[in-house]
Structure formats: structure tokens, C-alpha cells
Amino acid sequence: MAEKKLKKHLYRYKRYYVFIAITIVALVLPWIRINGNHFFLLNFDHMKVHLFFVKFDMQELYLMPFLLIMGFLGVFFMTTLGGRVWCGWACPQTIFRVIYRDLLKTKLLGIRKSIQNKQAPDKKGTTGKQIIAFVIWAILAFIAGANFIWYFVPPEDFLKYIQHPSEHMVMIGFIVGIAAFLIYDITKLKEDFCIYVCPYARVQSVMYDEETIQAVYDVGRGGQIYEVDPRTGVSIGKKKAHNRKELLAQDPDAECTYCEACVRVCPTHIDIREGTQLECINCLECADACTKVMGSLGKPSLIEWNSISAVKEHRRPKFLRFRTIAYGVALTVAFIALLWMSTTKEYMLLNVNRTTELYETEDHGKIVENAYIMLFQNTDNKDHKYYFTVLKEDKTPFKAIYVKKPNKPFPLSAGKKVKKIAVLATKEILAKDYKKDVTIPIIIKAYAVDDPKKIVVYRKTIFAFPRYDNLMKLRKEQSQ
Ligand code: SF4
Ligand code: SF4
């Protein structure tokens, strides 16, 4: 009953709802397709990247720096603002540990006595139940492994591949590897992963400032439990008061009951009354534990989800400050740039290379031809017919040069490439140079004939025209 009344004040239930939402999104998102495209897919199989339901070719890797910049800025912004909010509210490691330790082992199988005591060992004589918990977790680990793979091998391919596992051993190997790691990590490594392995845990503390939100013990109300360095105000790791009596002796107004419910519930086995610690994953279990203890005395929790300065000064935290605004602005700019880049994507790719021959002449110098190797790629979801024209540098039509080959538009299926030998020709005198051949800058405008406004690309190249005297010699030979 007390828990029911307290429910709206406890972070635990709010975290559970977030865990459920994240799990549903992670499981369902890879199955959602719009125009055949996924929200996020890094598909090495077909060399494609899907982002915000738009498909990109791996050659369009100009998007990757934006994604990386956004990732880093997002981590900086989130950590400066909310500390290890990711760890406590969204990290798969935390979610999996809650599923295994609190749901499976404690609530469902009764191997552990209470979720309020994460320090206590498992009950004795529960080997059978331990095996059941292990097997259930192993199954869930394989589902999590497959779920992870769906962001690299889309579910529509995954369902086909899984029916012929021997032909897709790399994919199977990854799923088995991820599942094996998750089984070891969640059942044996536990929170040691957060403390010793996770790289984010190592770097996050440098992004903290006095206004970063975290689990904070209110020393002013609760009383000084640990001795602190007088210069830095940081704990020196030695207890000043070992029990309530000693605490009251040094501070008669100290409110901490010394029940240590906050210590027992901590999954990383720390005492938050010692101050900010690297091991704290911001799960706020200690805040909930103290809410219950102090709530029964009609007082607010001594452990708050707040900033150190705000707790000291009994105020709300300052979210808007120079660092958070700067990260927020940079993140918004990177996001807008990414959105803009993803909407201005090229629906076709074109590489234009000249052949080794500078030029050729036909009809005794009356026609000058240049040959090119063009690689067309249809990066759209639909089949199209493509063709191209020649423009001058100022993008006006270069009427004197015409496309001799291919002489008509050609079809190209969605996602396919084709190599074409293209021949551009002219019957006019484009330059009169008596000393050398002339290179004339041109632009190839290639487009889909069925959608020339949306699907169009421009590539710069040159058209080589022979020395005027050599050309005239050829023409004279013919007339004699
Ligand atoms: S739960 Fe609250 S009252 Fe109990 S020891 Fe922790 S801080 Fe003190
Ligand atoms: S001190 Fe422990 S219980 Fe409290 S937020 Fe940090 S990790 Fe969680």
C-alpha cells in the first residue's frame, strides 16, 4: 500500500516505462519500411545505408561525418546536462540487468530475496531455479543478438537467410557471438562492465560541471558521513560517522537515519553519501530507497536527482548555461545539415572518365569525336530511363557538340549500375589553334528522362579538339 502511494514519486516505475518503450522501439523499428526503406540500416550485404527512410548508396558516404559529429555532440550534450542519464534510463546493459536480476531472479523465480537489496547473495539451494533463469536469459540474449543484427541485415533478408544458416555463417556467427557475450556479461560480469569496461564510464566525468544532474546526497540535511579534503571538498574515502549515534554526536540536526537502504539497493555497490563517484550509473535506486525511508517520517528524500549546486542552494538546477546551449546549438546545426543532406540526395550516380584516345576524326576530318566511359548507377527505388546532353561551362546547351552514342535513352533498374561507352561529336570548328590540340571544358548533364527535374546530375569534363592545321590537312587530302 505504501509503495502504491509512493509510486508516483519513485523513479523506478518511470524507468521501467522508459525501458519498455525503448525495448518496443528497438524490436519494432527494423520491421517498419516506407517505400521499401528503413529508419536506420547499415547494409553491407547490398552496400546500402538507410537513414530516416531514405536509401543511400555506400558511395554516398558524405553523410557519415554528419552522423559521427551528431553522435559525439549528442553524448557531450546529454552528459553535460544529465550526467549518466543514458546509463540509468536507456542503456541496454542496465535494461538487461533489471530483466535478469530484478524480474527473472527476484520477482519471478525468487532466487533473490528483494530488489531492495542488491548486495545480498542469491539464496542457497536454488540451483534448479538458477539454471532456469540462465536458460531464459540465454534465449533472450539470442533474441537481443538477432534484434541487433536487424540493423545490419534487414528483417526481410534475415528471415530468408535464417532458413539456410549454412550459407550465412557470418551472420549466424555474429548472432552467436553477441548472445554469448550478453550471457557472460549479464550473468557474470554484471555491473563490473559499467565500472571497468564501458568506455563511456571512463570519459563521462570530464563532461560534468556543478550543474550536471546526478544522484546527489544532501549533506546539509543528512549530515556528513565521510571525511572530506578541506581544500577540494571531495571525500577522502574514510567514514567520519559509522552509525546514527556518531552522526548525531557531530551534528544533532543530521536527518540521515543511517538505515543504509540506499547502500543496500545500489547495483554498483557504492555509498552515494560519499559524493559523486565514477561507479554511479544514475539508476536513482538510492533516491527511491531514501524516498521510502524519509517518506515514512514525513520528510523528503535526502538523495535527489539534481545538481550539486542546486542541492546546496535548495533550488532547481540550471539547464540553460553556456556549455549546454553551445552543445545544443551545435547539435541542432548538425541535425539540420544531416536532414538537408538526406533530402538533397542524388538519385543517380555518375562517373565520367575519358578513354586513352584524345580524339578521333571521321569523314576526313569533317567530324571530331571524343569517347568517354560513363558509369551510371540508379540509386532510386524505381526503374528509370537515362540519357544525357552536353552543356557549356555556364550550363547553357553546347549545341555544336552532340551525343553520337548511345543514340537513345537506356533503361536501368532500381539500385543497378551500367557502364556505357559514350561518344560526343562535333561537325563544327570549335577552335583555331595552329600550335596544339585544344581542350574545351564541357559539362555532362545526365538525367532520368521520366523525371528530369528530380533526377539529374552534372559532371565536368573536357572535349579535345585537334590542332587547326592538322585538321585542315585531313580535309584537304579528302578534297584532292
Ligand atoms: S536511505 Fe536515506 S536515510 Fe537511509 S542511510 Fe541512505 S541517505 Fe540515510
Ligand atoms: S549511487 Fe548506486 S543506486 Fe544511487 S544512482 Fe548511483 S548507482 Fe544507482
Contacts of 192 (CB under 8 A, 6+ apart): none
Q: Which of 50-64, 74-88, 252-266 has the lowest mean pLDDT?
A: 50-64
For ligand 1, say whether the CB of 289 is within 6 Å of any of its atoms: yes
Q: Summarize pLDDT for 416-444 with one digit per residue, the tens.
A: 899 999 999 999 999 999 999 999 999 99
- Tally: H helices and E strands in the chain: 17, 16
**CA-CA distance, 358 to 353, in Å (whole number)?**
12
pLDDT at 353 over 50: yes
Determine the average pLDDT of the residues in 351-366: 87
Instruction: Give whole-number Cα distances, 293 to 271, 297, 478, in Å.
Output: 16, 7, 107
Q: CB of 154 closer than 6 A to ligand 1?
A: no
| pLDDT band at 402; cut points 50, 70, 90 | very high
Q: pLDDT digits over 127-167, tens only?
A: 999 999 999 999 999 999 999 999 999 999 999 999 999 99
293 lines ligand 1 (CB under 6 A): yes
Give percent of the chain with pLDDT exceeding 70. Answer: 96
Q: Where are the domains of the chain?
A: 2-31+84-206, 210-313, 348-479
The answer as to CATH 2.60.40.10 being correct for domain 348-479 is yes
The Å distance, Cα 260 to ligand 1 centre, comes to 5
438-467 pLDDT per residue, tens:
999 999 999 999 999 889 999 999 999 999
**Which residues are CB-neighbours of 103 under 8 A, at least 6 positions away?**
none
Closest C-alpha among 447, 427, 445 to residue 378: 447
Counting ligand 1 atoms within 8 A of each CB, the residue from 9, 221, 242, 259 with the most, and so the one to mutate, is 259
Report the distance separating Cα 134 and Cα 467, nearest Å: 82
Rounded CA separation 202/267 (Å): 18
pLDDT greater than 80 at residue 345: no
Please give the distance, rounded to the nearest whole angstrom, from the Cα atom of residue 148 to the centre of ligand 2: 28
pLDDT band at 61 (very low <50, low <70, confident <90, very high): low
The alpha carbon of 198 and the centre of ligand 1 are apart by a number of angstroms equal to 29
Single pTM value for the model: 0.76
* pLDDT per position as a tens digit, 4-41: 667 778 999 999 999 999 999 999 999 999 988 999 99
Cα of 252 vs centre of ligand 1, distance in Å, is 16
Structure confidence at residue 98 (pLDDT): 97
pLDDT of residue 449: 95
- What is the rounded distance in angstroms from the CA atom of residue 246 to the CA atom of residue 57? 68
* Ligand 2 site, CB within 6 A: 215, 265-268, 270, 272, 280-286
Strand order across the 410-412 sheet:
410-412, 384-391, 438-448, 456-465
111: CA distance to ligand 2 center in Å? 23
- Kindly tell me if the per-residue pLDDT of 1 is higher than 60: no
pLDDT band with cut points at 50, 70 and 90 for residue 59? low
